[in-house]
Amino acid sequence: MVSERRVKRQFYKPLGFLFLGLGLAGIPLPVLPSTPFILLAAWFFARSSEKWHQRMLSSELFGPIIRNWEERRCISQRTKAMAIISMLAAGTASIAFAMESTALRIGTAVLLSIGGAVVLSIRTCPECSGPKEAE
């Protein structure tokens, strides 16, 4: 019989790495909002690897975002603003300069809209918990 702890390690930890990778990819890519993926990675690591969960919490880039989420179920106004601004800037540039196909432009605009809606749907923290929060 497979223990619940082993199942969590075998399935949750790889999912944590998958979502961490997507979150990191979301920093430079306009159609991937990194914040929701980083929060998912932290959730999976919290249930499978204390080492990786602590590593994410100690990160200067992601730690404040994760702590806000885990303690107050919100993200800061600054995090939201950085996410939306970076998605709009990079997405608009991609649509305007890097894509010739109308279908690709429409698809990218739809993905940007979905990403923006996800970020905007997350509750905003009443006050910023730290000066180093970033997208």
Between residues 104 and 131, which one has the greater pLDDT?
104
Q: How confident is the model at residue 1 (pLDDT cuts 50, 70, 90)?
A: low
Q: What's the pLDDT at 134? A: 44
Q: Measured between alpha carbons, how far is 120 from 84 in angstroms, rounded to an integer?
A: 8
Containing 65, the helix (H) or strand (E) segment is helix 63-72
Containing 106, the helix (H) or strand (E) segment is helix 102-121
Q: Measured between alpha carbons, how far is 104 from 98 in angstroms, rounded to an integer?
A: 10
Q: Measured between alpha carbons, how far is 67 from 1 in angstroms, rounded to an integer?
A: 35
Task: For 77-120, write each residue's pLDDT tens digit.
Answer: 998 998 888 888 888 888 888 889 999 999 989 988 998 898 89
Task: For 41-89, write each residue's pLDDT tens digit.
Answer: 999 999 999 999 999 999 998 999 999 999 999 999 998 998 888 888 8
Q: What is the mean pLDDT of the chain?
A: 86
CB of 112 within 8 A of CB of 30? yes
Q: How confident is the model at residue 15 (pLDDT cuts 50, 70, 90)?
A: very high
What percent of the chain is predicted at pLDDT more than 70? 90
